[in-house]
């Protein structure tokens, strides 16, 4: 059977919902948080040269920028049409073939593909102070800019790591010259650039929105990150938790002729957003409870208030069956409980996965299926069934402002 026929068959047999295979990524920097529900023996499944598994990507149609040793498909999500992993096909191929039938007319006409993905970000130590590029800067190297959002789920944070606070931007009293001098010191000493920033302690069950061009150093809490289809950054901090980062981390995503131009790097920042005196008020995202819930389920927006990405946390109470409607297509991951989702009667949160294993916790719901409503049953008599759902920019129910 041809790949296109398998994709069509899988899509129709499962009423427009695809089951995705866990997509773990190694990173060769920082320290793993060990909260991805991956078997302890599999954190170095690709070898020590690649680093430990520190991320899991969801509904991804882009490959990761992950060094010369990374295969071409690293970061790309695969669909599981059967319980045999050898039958898998790329989620990207499903998007290319099914087009608007899968992601909806609006997204297909505007972007030609699914425009975002989400990840679990899992580091035991704080990450470096860095920013993601704006569209105009990313375009110079053939990439897209990257807005992103954060949510800190209770279910995946049995410990908070070594530094559960995140730095955002710079203190409003800091000048550009002060920041520039820290970048000029990048190869001569520890530039201690977070001395110029401001940190906020992480509160589980809440989140943030981070625009491109804003420098930030994520804390050591497992984070659910819906984000745009991009993997580009510029790292401003050269020593973190005793680990040294070379200058390529700072300028690796600059055009070749700009790699020694600190003024160019400085101009990649959105300076006014970085020094916003009301940063928390502007970008902190407490959950917003939707008014469609009842005594069977609770629906919350956890990422919202931007033009690119959104996310919900859906909780189905024990023993309940509900039909949940949404305005647009979405990817989702179950983080607690078990039951059924649409035609899949073996939907369940992962407890301990082996690398390369098929699971029952990740799905992609087409726009038609989302509009019609997905029937979800929580088969536990005791535990809630909790699902995180990530959306593109076309869900008109997403709150545009902070409540």
- CATH number for the domain spanning 317: value is 2.60.120.10
**Left (φ > 0), alpha (ψ -120 to 50) or beta: where does 205 sit?**
left
Query: Angle, nearest 10°, between helix axes 91-98 and 3-13?
Result: 80
Does residue 170 contact residue 215 with C-beta atoms inside 8 Å? Answer: yes
Domain boundary among 234, 263, 285: 285
Q: Output the six-digit token pair for 22.
A: 């866990």
User: Is 312 found in the same domain as 266?
Assistant: no
User: How deeply is 301 buried, as exposed, middle or buried, from its count of CB atoms within 10 A (0-12, 13-18, 19+)?
Assistant: buried
Answer whether residue 354 is part of any domain: yes
Task: Please tell me the number of Cα atoms within 13 Å of 169 on its side-chain side.
Answer: 25
Q: Output the six-digit token pair for 260.
A: 């020694």
User: Is 159 found in the same domain as 60?
Assistant: yes
Distance (Å, whole) CA 191 – CA 155: 36
pLDDT value for 401:
75
Does residue 310 contact residue 304 with C-beta atoms inside 8 Å? Answer: yes
User: Is 219 found in the same domain as 343?
Assistant: no
User: Is 293 found in the same domain as 280?
Assistant: no
Answer whether residue 106 is part of any domain: no
pLDDT value for 107:
98
User: Is 347 found in the same domain as 381?
Assistant: yes
pLDDT value for 402:
72
User: Is 208 found in the same domain as 197?
Assistant: yes
List of E strands, 138-245: 148-151, 165-168, 199-201, 207-210, 216-217, 223-228, 234-235, 239-240, 243-244
User: Is 300 found in the same domain as 258?
Assistant: no
pLDDT value for 293:
78
pLDDT value for 403:
61
User: Is 369 found in the same domain as 276?
Assistant: no
Distance (Å, whole) CA 68 – CA 79: 26
Nearest to 236 by CA among 172, 277, 192: 192
Domain count, the chain: 2
Nearest to 302 by CA among 383, 376, 387: 387
List of E strands, 147-237: 148-151, 165-168, 199-201, 207-210, 216-217, 223-228, 234-235
- H-helix or E-strand containing 265? helix 262-267
Task: Please tell me the number of Cα atoms within 13 Å of 117 on its side-chain side.
Answer: 25
DSSP alpha helices (H): ranges in 45-175? 91-98, 100-103, 105-111, 135-138
Where in the sequence is the domain holding 154, given as residue range(s)?
A: 26-71+116-285
User: Is 349 found in the same domain as 206?
Assistant: no
User: Is 352 found in the same domain as 278?
Assistant: no
User: Is 240 found in the same domain as 204?
Assistant: yes
Nearest to 222 by CA among 135, 289, 124, 78: 124
Domain boundary among 253, 269, 285: 285
pLDDT value for 4:
92
- Residues 22-42: pLDDT tens digits? 999 999 999 999 999 999 999
User: Is 51 found in the same domain as 178?
Assistant: yes
Give the residues of the chain that fall short of pLDDT 50: none
- Whether this model's pTM surpasses 0.95: yes
């Amino acid at each position: 059977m041809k790949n296109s026929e398998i994709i069509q068959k899988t899509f129709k047999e499962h009423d427009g919902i695809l089951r995705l295979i866990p997509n773990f990524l190694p990173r060769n920097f920082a320290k793993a948080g060990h909260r991805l529900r991956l078997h302890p023996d599999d954190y170095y499944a690709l070898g020590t040269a690649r680093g430990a598994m520190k991320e899991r990507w969801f509904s991804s149609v882009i490959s990761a920028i992950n060094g010369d040793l990374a295969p071409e498909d690293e970061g790309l999500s695969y669909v599981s049409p059967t319980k045999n992993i050898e039958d898998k096909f790329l989620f990207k191929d499903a998007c290319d073939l099914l087009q608007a039938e899968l992601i909806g007319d609006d997204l297909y006409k505007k972007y030609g593909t699914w425009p975002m993905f989400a990840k679990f970000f899992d580091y035991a130590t704080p990450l470096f102070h860095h920013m993601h590029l704006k569209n105009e800067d990313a375009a110079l190297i053939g990439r897209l800019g990257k807005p992103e959002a954060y949510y800190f789920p209770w279910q995946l944070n049995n410990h908070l790591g070594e530094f559960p606070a995140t730095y955002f931007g710079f203190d409003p009293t800091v000048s550009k010259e002060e920041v520039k001098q820290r970048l000029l010191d990048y190869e001569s000493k520890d530039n201690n650039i977070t001395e110029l920033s401001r940190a906020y302690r992480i509160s589980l069950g809440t989140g943030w929105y981070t625009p491109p061009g804003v420098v930030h150093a994520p804390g050591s809490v497992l984070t659910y990150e819906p984000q745009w289809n991009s993997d580009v950054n510029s790292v401003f901090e050269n020593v973190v938790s005793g680990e040294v980062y070379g200058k390529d981390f700072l300028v690796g995503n600059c055009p070749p002729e700009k790699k020694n131009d600190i003024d160019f790097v400085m101009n990649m920042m959105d300076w006014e957003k970085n020094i916003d005196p009301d940063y928390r008020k502007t970008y902190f995202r407490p959950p917003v409870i939707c008014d469609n819930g009842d005594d069977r389920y609770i629906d919350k927006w956890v990422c919202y208030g931007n033009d690119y990405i959104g996310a919900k946390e859906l909780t189905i109470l024990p023993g309940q069956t509900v039909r949940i409607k949404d305005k647009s297509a979405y990817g989702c991951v179950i983080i607690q409980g078990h039951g059924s989702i649409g035609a899949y009667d073996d939907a369940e949160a992962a407890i301990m996965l082996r690398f390369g294993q098929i699971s029952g916790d990740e799905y992609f719901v087409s726009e038609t299926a989302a509009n019609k409503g997905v029937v979800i049953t929580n088969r536990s008599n005791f535990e809630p069934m909790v699902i995180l759902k990530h959306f593109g920019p076309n869900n008109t129910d997403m709150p545009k402002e902070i409540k």
